[in-house]
């Protein structure tokens, strides 16, 4: 699960690694709408409008197009994922054998605890302090007309370009 604002190479690394641990991959897109956004003190900026410029449908297109081109064997089920509580997480993500996630900071630990409280078996793929790419940097470059498309798979770049003409 992740916001994927936008889907970038760090997310690609995470999803392909998660796909190695399960025959069925479900990708939960968090903050799928303003009403289903978790507001948290561990990362207050993540719920801001500025940090969430792409709709659930746009992010789903970024992921599905990118994965279909680069890892067609994965064929994930993509769903809106509501992290406001363990109950809303369980009802939105549905049945999963395993929830795989990455931990970089306090928000990652909070997300892990939330998934465990929802009754999921959780696999932390890795704990790191540095990210390969950040959505914040991709969005900054995109908004300032700086080179950004090398930071994302082609399916993401095409989706974003289709929005801006």
Cα angle value 42/105/39 (rounded, 5°)? 25
Reported confidence tier of residue 41, pLDDT bands at 50, 70, 90: confident
- Residue 78 pLDDT more than 70? yes
Q: Determine the Cα–Cα distance for residues 135 and 92; give it in Å rounded to an integer.
A: 23
What pLDDT score was predicted for residue 37?
A: 86
Rg (C-alpha) for the chain, rounded Å, is 15
- Residue 22 pLDDT more than 90? no
Mean pLDDT of 135-163: 96
What pLDDT score was predicted for residue 18?
A: 94
Mean pLDDT of 9-20: 95
How large a percentage of the chain has pLDDT more than 70? 99
Give the pLDDT confidence of 84-141 residue by residue, as tens digits.
Answer: 999 999 999 999 888 999 999 999 999 999 999 999 999 999 999 999 899 999 999 9
> pTM here?
0.94
Give the start-to-end residue ranges of the domains of the chain: 9-158
Q: What is the CATH number assigned to the segment(s) 9-158?
A: 3.40.50.620
What pLDDT score was predicted for residue 56?
A: 97
How large a percentage of the chain has pLDDT more than 90? 81
Mean pLDDT of 47-54: 91
Q: Pairing state of beta strands 122-127 and 99-103? A: parallel
What pLDDT score was predicted for residue 144?
A: 96
What pLDDT score was predicted for residue 165?
A: 65
């Amino acid at each position: 699960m992740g916001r994927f604002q936008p889907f970038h190479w760090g997310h690609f690394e995470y999803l392909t690694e998660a796909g190695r641990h399960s025959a069925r991959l479900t990708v939960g897109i968090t903050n799928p709408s303003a009403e289903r956004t978790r507001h948290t003190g561990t990362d207050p900026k993540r719920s801001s409008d500025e940090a969430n410029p792409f709709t659930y449908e746009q992010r789903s297109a970024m992921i599905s197009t990118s994965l279909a081109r680069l890892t067609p064997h994965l064929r994930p089920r993509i769903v809106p994922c509501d992290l406001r509580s363990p109950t809303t997480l369980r009802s939105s993500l549905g049945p999963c054998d395993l929830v795989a996630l990455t931990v970089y900071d306090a928000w990652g630990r909070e997300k892990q605890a939330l998934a465990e409280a929802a009754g999921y078996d959780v696999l932390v793929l890795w704990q790191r302090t540095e990210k390969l790419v950040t959505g914040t940097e991709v969005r900054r470059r995109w908004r300032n007309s700086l080179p950004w498309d090398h930071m994302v798979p082609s399916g993401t770049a095409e989706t974003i370009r289709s929005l801006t003409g």
